[in-house]
Amino acid sequence: MIHVCRVDNGQCRDQTADGTNVQQATITPWGGGGVYRLTVVLQDQAGNINPAAQSGPVLLRYDQRAYSVFTASTRGLIARSCHRAKRPPRRGHRATLAKARARTNRPGRRLVCRVRIRHPQHNLRVRFGHHATIFAVLSDTAGHPLANQPIQVSQQLRGAGQVFAPAGQTTTDVSGLMRYTAAPGPSRTLSFAYPGTDSLKAAIANVNLRVGAFSTFHVEPRLAHIGQRIIFSGRLLGGHIPKAGKSLLIEGVDRGLLVPVSRGLRTDRRGQWRFAYVFHNQTGAAYTYAFHLAIPFDSVYPYLPAATHALPVTILNP
């Protein structure tokens, strides 16, 4: 036997579960949604109850509200359909069906529009320093739009140990459509939460923004001799630099092959970096190399791996 009690008002009912080895039982809530406390009691066929065999209480939340549908996308592939709202005849006014339709189709009647996202996409690659626009449609399970509803926005930066933090608030328009413009920043997950109402359940939609790292890259001089020192420098932009700095790698292209040049190169706390390199030998009178800066993956750095543009350096061999 299962002893079921409502937590809010203390009303209790006993529901039977026949069998000696019951692994599944159906509970019938009463009085609408709420929190119920369940206790399993061992009772024999004569109605005797063994208190020592009674289980501990289990709380069960029964939500009677209808579901809401929240679909987010990173592309504006939206289908919109509109129709004029039909108004029922006034109470006590005996109008024919034809007159009612004539009043409905009269110019100036309110338009009711439904929108839907054709091809939802939850991952968006964003260029460094650029904004991103996210679209979302909020409706009930029948497809009716939920207009002028509040949407809570939170974000979680990419990387180990990050948690969601509030990022703002927005609302849906009359057709249930939401547009949100994300400010430039690192890779992160945006979460859009609809809190729900007394008749509709809450809903959440997530979108992932993927942003590559970016650094300035300078080489001086561009024309050097064997034995002359070449200075590579720059600054890693966007912030969120780890305390120990961010590891970097300078690579050179030699006869079509990538050759690592720097060893143990890291930025400081402000993202600035500097590296000196000297060519000691070379075949031929002059040769041009192409160098670029690679920004590798780091679990605590919220930007994706990237590389800068290549800069040519010509080495003369007197």
Residues 187-202: tens digit of each pLDDT: 999 999 999 887 888 8
The sign of the dihedral angle between the CA atoms of 255, 258, 260, 266 is positive
Separation of alpha carbons 120 and 122, rounded Å = 7
Separation of alpha carbons 98 and 108, rounded Å = 18
What residue has token string 């561009």?
A: 222
Radius of gyration for the alpha carbons in the chain, expressed in angstroms and rounded: 33
| Average pLDDT value over all residues in the chain | 80
Separation of alpha carbons 68 and 145, rounded Å = 10
Residues whose CB is less than 8 angstroms from the CB of residue 120 and which lie 6 or more positions away in sequence, other chains included = 71, 72, 73
User: In 33-185, at which residue ranges do the beta strands (DSSP E only) sit?
Assistant: 34-40, 58-62, 68-73, 78-84, 111-117, 123-126, 132-140, 150-157, 165-171, 177-182
What residue has token string 């339709």?
A: 101
For residues 247-263, average pLDDT: 87
pLDDT at 253: 83
Separation of alpha carbons 24 and 198, rounded Å = 30
Model-level pTM?
A: 0.69
For residues 19-44, average pLDDT: 66
In which band, very low, low, confident or very high, does the pLDDT at 173 lie, cut at 50, 70 and 90?
A: confident
pLDDT at 246: 95
pLDDT at 120: 75
Determine what percent of the chain is predicted with pLDDT higher than 70. 70
CA proximity to 89, closest of 98, 78, 80: 98
Which residue has better confidence, 126 or 42? 126
In which band, very low, low, confident or very high, does the pLDDT at 301 lie, cut at 50, 70 and 90?
A: very high
Cis peptide before 221 (omega within 30 of 0): yes
pLDDT at 111: 56
In which band, very low, low, confident or very high, does the pLDDT at 62 lie, cut at 50, 70 and 90?
A: low
Separation of alpha carbons 209 and 85, rounded Å = 38
For residues 48-59, average pLDDT: 72
For residues 45-74, average pLDDT: 69
Question: All domains of the chain, ordered by start, with CATH?
Answer: 2-62 (no CATH), 69-211 (2.60.40.10), 218-316 (2.60.40.1930)
- 3-class secondary structure, 139: strand
Beta bridge partners of 216: none
Whether 113 contacts 175, CB under 8 Å = yes
The values of phi and psi at residue 65, to 5°, are: -75, 155
pLDDT in tens, 121-139: 788 899 999 999 888 888 8
In which band, very low, low, confident or very high, does the pLDDT at 100 lie, cut at 50, 70 and 90?
A: very low
pLDDT at 136: 85
Is residue 118 predicted with pLDDT exceeding 70?
no
For residues 157-181, average pLDDT: 89
Which residue has better confidence, 37 or 90? 37
Whether 236 contacts 295, CB under 8 Å = yes
pLDDT at 92: 46
